């Protein structure tokens, strides 16, 4: 008898919770009734986020931009800042194409301060954005691609660079 009462109470509680969920969903999805009090003000969306700086990493006291190379899209490559005016002109992290890298600070990503070649000598196409970074992490997690996250040559050159203080 006690077991049957407990089972009946559990079923009743489940039915009550279902009814409450259905009524709440219906109220949230239905249009407001004429003459009903207006819903409290809520922000329409999250406030806009601050623009992100270029996707760079500080290693051994130097700043390196994470970039993409067309011949190795699953690995990130690194490029250093352009050294001086006697060498090749620097290039921006992002080309001037409208809408490219919208989450990043346009004033910073369009500065022509990055070397045109990666540390392994390849020409790079663009700064690696968050989507490219995620793809590289996923490729790195694959058992057959343990070195896919960062180009091994670029990483070795960063490790061999003297530390700036």
The predicted pLDDT at position 98 comes to 65
- Predicted confidence at residue 19, as pLDDT, reads 41
pLDDT > 70 fraction of the chain, expressed in percent and rounded: 61
Please identify every stretch of the chain with a pLDDT value under 50, giving residue numbers as ranges. 2, 5-6, 8-10, 12-23, 25
Contacts of residue 30, defined as CB under 8 A and 6 or more positions apart, other chains included, come to none
The string of pLDDT tens digits covering residues 119-165 is: 999 999 989 888 888 888 887 777 766 666 888 888 888 888 777 55
């Amino acid at each position: 008898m006690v077991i049957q009462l407990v089972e009946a109470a559990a079923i009743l509680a489940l039915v009550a919770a279902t009814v409450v969920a259905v009524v709440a969903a219906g109220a949230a999805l239905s249009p407001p009734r004429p003459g009903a009090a207006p819903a409290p003000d809520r922000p329409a969306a999250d406030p806009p986020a601050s623009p992100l700086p270029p996707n760079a990493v500080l290693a051994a006291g130097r700043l390196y931009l994470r970039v993409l190379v067309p011949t190795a899209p699953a690995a990130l490559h690194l490029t250093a800042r352009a050294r001086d005016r006697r060498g090749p002109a620097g290039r921006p992290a992002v080309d001037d194409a409208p809408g490219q890298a919208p989450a990043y600070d346009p004033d910073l990503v369009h500065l022509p301060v990055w070397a045109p070649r990666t540390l392994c000598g390849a020409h790079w196409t663009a700064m690696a954005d968050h989507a490219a970074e995620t793809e590289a992490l996923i490729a790195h997690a694959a058992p057959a691609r343990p070195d896919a996250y960062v180009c091994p040559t670029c990483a070795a050159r960063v490790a061999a660079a003297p530390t700036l203080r």
